Amino acid sequence: MAITPQQARQELARRELARRELARREQQPQPELYPNKIIPQFTKGLYENLPFGKRIVGMLPNAPQIEQLQAETARPQGFLPMFARGVGSVAPDLAMSSPFMRGAGLIPKIPGIAKAGLGFGAYGGTKAAVQGEPIVPSALSSAGSAALFHGAGKIGAGVVPQFGGRLGSALGGATAGAITGGEEGMALGAGLGALYPSQPYQKQTQKLAETAINYYLKPSKTLKKYANPAQAITKEGIAGFNLDTIDRKADIRLGELKEARDRIKTDIRNSDAEINLKENKALKPLWDLWVELNKDPLSHRTEIKALERNLTDLESKDLGKLNIDQAYDFIDRINNLKPSGIFTKTSTAKINSALHETYHNVREAINKADISNDLKSINKRMSDLIAAKQAINDAVNKNGLNTRFLPIGFGLYGVTTGNPILATMVGTEEVLRTPGGSSFIGKMLSTKYPKVKR
């Protein structure tokens, strides 16, 4: 088929455009592969900052060539080469600070941000001493940087919790380091965050929320051994200006959780569960108490009779083979066994302790059966709420008003003398000493449980 003059002109024009584009590309400088940029920058940073690095290089046979290569390595351009230079620069510090950081991590009862500052600050001071530089400024500078990176890492770990928070901590530390110290600061912040990850702020605020409740309620060791009453109040979002309101809201939430429990337990997986209370000796705490009271039967006649009556009733079924309905009926009956007002204060405390341990044993036996995670979660929430109600009841029976006068006096002193720190500290303590103050602060700081589905 013959080509027309118009087609020939179009083909010639297309070939000319292709030739010009090829010539233009050949004239442009070809970009180097990133490994060809990154590796020299990394080794340059390592060479300049590794202790005795230059001395070691000087002992090698090809030392002149290595030194010339390092001298000819230009200032990095672009993010990755700059970051590579920074990683090389801080790699020795990250490696050599490890013993100091791990040692500080073993110090109990101080915040993680303080541990980071102490560990890296001690390393900075030691490094300065070895190099003959001022110790205190270097130690303070290193401590401040590590504390800043750790704090930023907390934010990052909350946003990116993957890999145990390491990735988020590294990103947070890198961001803070880039702002304060360029590529070296970015690399150092990323390295410290990855090696020593921060706890997300959510976990810290949850602890603060529970501390606020515990400061006011002061739940007994028995309650805290088998449950977490402070977590129940904070994570259920319960708050009120007085204990009566908090107790009433806890009752309402218990009712909602019980409805959800009764609804979920009818699922096929849960309804087929078989619970064995004999295997974990669920009633042993009550029998142990019965043995203890019988050491002085005349003084504890009323308590012994009450225990015998209830134990006989509770053991009327085969405890080695209960279905889910029978097990929850059992646990509800345990919860309803409250010591009467005729018991002594000492025996009431002992009975309450035995009942809490028994309730815990039955709950654990149910959780050991093949039941859903949703049901296990509700079991825990109910157990914590029941303990919270007991803690509220114990707090009502305590007279702690006289402990408030001394803090008030210090607070007034702080205000009159113009000492804002003292006034604020005492004012905060006063707020925490009230049901409303502690519960509303706890509710504000806590991470809430999901809403109960109806």
Burial of residue 11 (number of CB atoms within 10 Å: 0-12, 13-18, 19+):
exposed
What phi and psi values does residue 273 have, to the nearest 5 degrees?
Answer: -65, 145
Count of Cβ atoms closer than 10 Å to residue 258 Cβ: 14
Count of Cβ atoms closer than 10 Å to residue 415 Cβ: 14
Which residue ranges make up each domain of the chain? 34-63+73-93, 97-199, 243-400
Q: What is the pLDDT along the chain (454 residues), one digit of tens a residue?
A: 566 777 767 777 777 777 777 777 666 554 444 445 555 555 655 555 555 555 555 566 666 665 665 555 556 555 566 666 666 677 778 888 888 888 888 888 787 888 888 988 898 888 888 878 888 888 888 888 888 888 888 877 777 776 777 888 888 888 887 777 677 777 888 888 888 888 776 666 788 788 888 888 888 888 888 899 999 999 999 988 888 889 999 999 999 999 999 888 888 878 888 888 888 788 888 888 888 888 888 888 888 888 888 888 887 777 888 888 888 888 888 888 776 555 566 677 788 888 888 888 888 888 888 888 889 999 999 999 999 998 888 888 774 443 444 444 545 555 555 555 555 555 566 666 677 778 887 887 788 888 776 6
Q: Cα 131–68–96 angle (5° rounding)?
A: 30
How far apart, in whole angstroms, are the C-alpha atoms of residue 379 and residue 361? 12
Count of Cβ atoms closer than 10 Å to residue 306 Cβ: 18
Contact 439, 247 (CB under 8 A): no
Which residues have CB under 8 Å from 397's CB, separation 6+?
none
71-82 tens-digit pLDDT: 555 565 555 666
Strands (DSSP E) found in 45-200: none
3-62 tens-digit pLDDT: 677 776 777 777 777 777 777 766 655 444 444 555 555 565 555 555 555 555 556 666
Burial of residue 14 (number of CB atoms within 10 Å: 0-12, 13-18, 19+):
exposed
How far apart, in whole angstroms, are the C-alpha atoms of residue 439 and residue 229? 12
DSSP structure class, residue 3: P
Residues in the chain: 454
Count of Cβ atoms closer than 10 Å to residue 276 Cβ: 16
Which residues have CB under 8 Å from 409's CB, separation 6+?
none
The continuous run of DSSP H or E covering 275 comes out as strand 274-275
Report how far apart, in Å, the C-alpha atoms of 439 and of each of 309, 321, 328, 388, 412 are. Answer: 39, 42, 30, 12, 24
Angle separating helix axes 135-159 and 112-130, nearest 10 degrees: 150
Contact 226, 387 (CB under 8 A): yes
pTM, entire model: 0.55
How far apart, in whole angstroms, are the C-alpha atoms of residue 74 and residue 32? 14
How far apart, in whole angstroms, are the C-alpha atoms of residue 319 and residue 332? 15
The position carrying tokens 């308590």 is 303
What are the tokens at 308? 């015998």
**Does the CA dihedral 366-371-373-377 come out positive or negative?**
negative
Contact 387, 356 (CB under 8 A): yes
